[in-house]
Chains A and B, each alone.
Chain A
């Protein structure tokens, strides 16, 4: 199969999440961007194979993340539910990540490609936690939700997987929101509706 160009992918927010800057009192508290053509795979352990799945993850990624935590850099492995992983990659060819995980996990888990079924929204800025507190009941303070933490929660009425990628004292935290594609536009509207209170910038996807 010829490799598909990521440019052929038309994400759910194409034409909607356009680069813009809306300041409040001369500043912005929120940064939004869409990582282009993300790869998103879920993998539930086969019955009785959770330990072996964890071992294979540890061999490849250094260790198996604790529940509600993630590991990795270019490819992030989230321990998102009991015996279940959510794996995030960027800049991968169509189907590459799921194929790689099938090879890695073999009979220990059943990977499912949801790269197109989930939208990935990156939310950062000094006010990111404050914005999210209008939606989620998860305590996002760094002592209970440190970098690498993830949670399945609701924003408004929309189910998301929330991940804290990094927390820079200067630039503020950077969260990834993984949302079912069909709800992406509603979630985007929800985010923008609240981002207006802090000033925000939507940046074009890199590349």
Chain B
């Protein structure tokens, strides 16, 4: 028996009951409860087991710093381990499970570790699991990993959605307690754009947990009035259930809004979490302070909790933490908690004050002991009694109680101020670290700045807003301060009770005791950063929110240094854990990146295309008919093109409009071949090198007018080439009169290829003469088709056939494609996809992605003659490097298997027959392969050392991953129509 629901009080809706289960057992609570408060109200005290010793643990705090009450929440794909029961809002049907306990939290086999604890000090596994070395990976690591860890994850796909967003404001107020509320009010009245973010479901902060009135009115009456004004102010945005977790360069803040974690399942239209990036001109940290635990024997027994947690249970949730409650404090704030409990009718056993003198008029009916400490807490799974030591008389006195509230002073929650590298400053008066001055971007007010009375908090918040208004050129408004109660807040540090006999925990989550810190020092780890890593103090989900200051104070004492000299470990974002889903945001699965679609996308789907991803684009792989697989479809499409005519969507090729008086000069500089002689109405193949001399991209560029060119690029390089050209114009040659613009998306473009191409084309042209004489290979024209559609026509060929590319403004591309199918029907026209396109180009030896891989030179590709000697161009100097001219550089060749049916594989290596496969004997590799239905054989393009001298030679193809060793023959890379007669037909 321990906690129970009080008859009245609390911000819970007693008219409604919420059913939930913990470890399968059914309980009831009310709206407004957290899982922790509802369990306490039901008398459940044992909430889980500790990480290392598997000690029984209960509730310690009332907020996000909770190290003990970690539960697995929900189940199935939504299973969420390490949920702090203190921050889990109760909902109907909630299911939670305790962690670190097997078979149950009441009977936990792992608790045997407690008996072994003399052998399990800090760092034991560094010393223990050393020999034999062969066991490190295979035995020790799996064992340690199984024993360690907090909670279990799930491997099921996350069913929820996540979002990212951006917010902007003049002032971000972090924390909606009394300081934050009054600051937001003042800033709102000053006309600033204000964001008030708070991690709780409702604003109020400490006002929700305290009963002391503000002047004549209850604290929440004041809050409600402020809130009403903020809620109606158009310049204020209230973000509840939102944790501002990080402060970044440029006064950018990261915040996590829990949109739907208080619901059983997020509504379909809402994300579960939103990761906000808040760009704030100014920010004010009003995050309050965190109460410190006291360090004494058995201070981790279920039933020992922070005084502030007990106060919150009583005032906010209407729950008594126990039936006989003692309070152990080293400051005045413990007395107020005792008074609140007394007012709520919770029986008090005693107030134990470590100081010689406490407040004179404490108003308590129970006994108050001065100069007394709690040495040990007794009981197994629930506190039964404590042993106190009257230091004045040197007596050890047993005291029966079922609950002990401890108050060890207050740590300002200053984490955000440290996220950009600044360390906090020790303050003797409040025995805690204060935030350092981190500039005007982020100011601190209220308890977070070390102000421990409500009056001082209000004043500091208003003073900060006045400064912020001055910064931003606004007039600070009048805001009436509510009358505040007298709040004694003296504190005398008490870092550890040395009279303790039992284990005294400094870090609850990592089971670090007072013995571990001297041990770390004795073994040489006396720097605070090393002590942290040796003992694990301050690690895991709570990141030492409760333990760090006690830990380093003990370290200071052990090493005989003052606390400021010991310093703190590094505070890093995030303040509280941020689920990975929120970091990924909506960009997962199919939404990982946007898809680009050709203007013919839907037309291709209607033609039965199988679409595949090609970079960002969706492109057709093939157009299967009936039961055809890709291979059969590809063969049919290739034969159709070579024997009749086919059409293929080439809209995805990059198209760059180039204009200006210096356009030809510009092309001369970015391409390695010459452009000054290209006449209007002609296209030319161009090869572009990188500065390092390797091939960057290729494509055709056509001259449309005196000062007007159209460059095409490969699909994959359209973006990089455009960026390259813009860089050249803006940075290298700003004097050139050249304007470039991407028109990739403007034109829907189809390739019409095959011996019948001209006949089909003639039927759609309005009046252009495309006879071989009038419109020869590499001719280009602007014309019209289909009764007035503007069009661009190019006689270029990737397939090696008589071929044209026809472009129309994209909105007309379906009309064009339909017309080509219609007018080509009697010639047997067919659409062909990427597989056929690839085979056609390999049959012609045209380099593409597999060959233009960033490691090949113009010479390697057999295009060395394109390197102009008459001009300068990007990559010229480096393309003449010795290694580029080396005779044994692998160069482009064709490859056929010697046994007719054998399949070639890209990536296979080439060896001189008889050589053993080795790096030294490697002769080259296979870049692209295809099955040629024309040659009825697999063919490939390969790079082979001295390849051009070795045509006809037999070669060994070595494919260790798939086929092993087999034989092939080197040949010219142009497999079909080597004299290019079809091209010019």
Do A193 and B586 touch across chains, with their CB atoms under 8 A apart? yes
B815 within 8 A of A: yes
Interface residues of A in 93-129 (CB under 8 A from B): 94-95, 109-110, 112-118
Do A182 and B596 touch across chains, with their CB atoms under 8 A apart? yes
Chain A binder among B371-379, B771-779, B805-813, B953-961? B805-813
Q: Which residue of B594, B737, B746 contacts A46 across the interface (Cβ within 8 Å)?
A: B737
Task: Kindly state the separation between the CA atoms of A47 and B729 in the bound complex, as whole angstroms.
Answer: 11
A90 within 8 A of B: no
Q: Which of under 10, 10 to 19, 20 to 34, or 35 or more describes the interface residues of B? A: 35 or more
B788 — which chain A residues lie within 8 A by C-beta? 1-2, 4
Do B745 and A114 touch across chains, with their CB atoms under 8 A apart? yes
How far is the CB of A92 from the nearest CB of chain B, in Å?
13
A114 — which chain B residues lie within 8 A by C-beta? 741, 743, 745-746
Do A116 and B165 touch across chains, with their CB atoms under 8 A apart? no
B625 within 8 A of A: no
How far is the CB of A143 from the nearest CB of chain B, in Å?
8
The answer to whether residues A10 and B660 also contact, given A42-B741, A117-B743, A117-B746 and a CB cut-off of 8 A, is no
A203 within 8 A of B: no
B747 within 8 A of A: yes
Do B594 and A157 touch across chains, with their CB atoms under 8 A apart? yes
Chain A binder among B220-228, B597-605, B885-893? B597-605
How far is the CB of A149 from the nearest CB of chain B, in Å?
14
B164 — which chain A residues lie within 8 A by C-beta? 134
Q: Which residue of B167, B735, B809, B811 contacts A133 across the interface (Cβ within 8 Å)?
A: B167
B877 within 8 A of A: no
The residue of chain B having its C-beta at the shortest distance from the C-beta of A193 within the complex is B586
Do B167 and A44 touch across chains, with their CB atoms under 8 A apart? no
Residue-by-residue, is A138-156 near B (CB-CB < 8 Å gives 1, otherwise 0)? 1101001000000000001
B163 within 8 A of A: yes
Task: Kindly state the separation between the CA atoms of A141 and B279 in the bound complex, as whole angstroms.
Answer: 13
A63 — which chain B residues lie within 8 A by C-beta? none
A194 — which chain B residues lie within 8 A by C-beta? 163
The answer to whether residues A186 and B595 also contact, given A4-B788, A15-B602, A115-B809 and a CB cut-off of 8 A, is yes
A24 within 8 A of B: yes
Task: Kindly state the separation between the CA atoms of A158 and B661 in the bound complex, as whole angstroms.
Answer: 33
B744 within 8 A of A: yes
B344 within 8 A of A: no
B787 within 8 A of A: yes
Do A133 and B165 touch across chains, with their CB atoms under 8 A apart? yes
A15 — which chain B residues lie within 8 A by C-beta? 602
A185 — which chain B residues lie within 8 A by C-beta? 595, 597, 601
B809 — which chain A residues lie within 8 A by C-beta? 94, 113, 115-116
How far is the CB of A200 from the nearest CB of chain B, in Å?
10
B854 within 8 A of A: no
Do A116 and B586 touch across chains, with their CB atoms under 8 A apart? no
The answer to whether residues A137 and B745 also contact, given A95-B790, A182-B598, A185-B597 and a CB cut-off of 8 A, is no
A136 within 8 A of B: yes
A180 within 8 A of B: yes
B660 — which chain A residues lie within 8 A by C-beta? 46-47, 110
Do B597 and A182 touch across chains, with their CB atoms under 8 A apart? yes
The answer to whether residues A115 and B599 also contact, given A136-B166, A157-B594, A158-B594 and a CB cut-off of 8 A, is no
The residue of chain A having its C-beta at the shortest distance from the C-beta of B707 within the complex is A110
The residue of chain B having its C-beta at the shortest distance from the C-beta of A143 within the complex is B193
B744 — which chain A residues lie within 8 A by C-beta? 117, 180, 182
Interface residues of B in 643-691 (CB under 8 A from A): 652, 657, 659-662
B789 within 8 A of A: yes
A61 within 8 A of B: no
How far is the CB of A56 from the nearest CB of chain B, in Å?
16
The residue of chain B having its C-beta at the shortest distance from the C-beta of A5 within the complex is B788
Do A197 and B269 touch across chains, with their CB atoms under 8 A apart? yes
B736 — which chain A residues lie within 8 A by C-beta? 47
Do A10 and B814 touch across chains, with their CB atoms under 8 A apart? yes
A177 — which chain B residues lie within 8 A by C-beta? none
How far is the CB of A41 from the nearest CB of chain B, in Å?
10
How far is the CB of A68 from the nearest CB of chain B, in Å?
16
A141 — which chain B residues lie within 8 A by C-beta? 168, 193
Task: Kindly state the separation between the CA atoms of A114 and B741 in the bound complex, as whole angstroms.
Answer: 9
Do A4 and B597 touch across chains, with their CB atoms under 8 A apart? no
Task: Kindly state the separation between the CA atoms of A158 and B591 in the bound complex, as whole angstroms.
Answer: 12
Residue-by-residue, is A43-59 near B (CB-CB < 8 Å gives 1, otherwise 0)? 01111100000000000
B827 within 8 A of A: no
Do A197 and B586 touch across chains, with their CB atoms under 8 A apart? no
Interface residues of B in 580-596 (CB under 8 A from A): 586-587, 593-596
Residue-by-residue, is B246-280 near A (CB-CB < 8 Å gives 1, otherwise 0)? 00000000000000000000000110000001010
B815 — which chain A residues lie within 8 A by C-beta? 8, 10
B717 within 8 A of A: no
A193 — which chain B residues lie within 8 A by C-beta? 586
Residue-by-residue, is A1-14 near B (CB-CB < 8 Å gives 1, otherwise 0)? 11010001111100
Do B790 and A183 touch across chains, with their CB atoms under 8 A apart? no
B617 within 8 A of A: yes
How far is the CB of A203 from the nearest CB of chain B, in Å?
20
How far is the CB of A38 from the nearest CB of chain B, in Å?
10
Do B587 and A4 touch across chains, with their CB atoms under 8 A apart? no
Task: Kindly state the separation between the CA atoms of A144 and B281 in the bound complex, as whole angstroms.
Answer: 13
The answer to whether residues A115 and B746 also contact, given A10-B811, A11-B811, A110-B739 and a CB cut-off of 8 A, is yes
Task: Kindly state the separation between the CA atoms of A48 and B735 in the bound complex, as whole angstroms.
Answer: 9
Task: Kindly state the separation between the CA atoms of A179 and B768 in the bound complex, as whole angstroms.
Answer: 34
Task: Kindly state the separation between the CA atoms of A197 and B599 in the bound complex, as whole angstroms.
Answer: 30
Task: Kindly state the separation between the CA atoms of A169 and B270 in the bound complex, as whole angstroms.
Answer: 27
A32 within 8 A of B: no
Q: Which residue of A24, A42, A158, A182 contacts B745 across the interface (Cβ within 8 Å)?
A: A182
Do B599 and A12 touch across chains, with their CB atoms under 8 A apart? yes
A162 within 8 A of B: no
B784 within 8 A of A: yes
Do B810 and A181 touch across chains, with their CB atoms under 8 A apart? yes
Task: Kindly state the separation between the CA atoms of A176 and B659 in the bound complex, as whole angstroms.
Answer: 28
The answer to whether residues A9 and B787 also contact, given A24-B269, A110-B660, A117-B745 and a CB cut-off of 8 A, is no
A and B contact pairs by CB, cutoff 8 A, 8 listed: A12-B599, A116-B809, A134-B165, A139-B279, A180-B744, A182-B744, A186-B594, A193-B586
Q: A47-B660, A183-B594 are in contact. List 20 more A-B contacts (CB 8 A).
A: A2-B787, A10-B812, A12-B599, A46-B737, A112-B659, A112-B739, A112-B741, A114-B743, A115-B809, A117-B742, A117-B744, A118-B745, A133-B165, A141-B193, A158-B594, A181-B810, A182-B598, A182-B617, A182-B652, A194-B163
Would you list the 6 A-B pairs with minimal beta carbon distance, nearest first? A117-B746, A186-B594, A182-B596, A117-B745, A9-B811, A47-B737
Contacts from A to B (Cβ < 8 Å): 1-2, 4, 8-12, 15, 24, 37, 42, 44-48, 94-95, 109-110, 112-118, 133-134, 136-139, 141, 144, 156-158, 180-187, 190, 193-194, 196-197
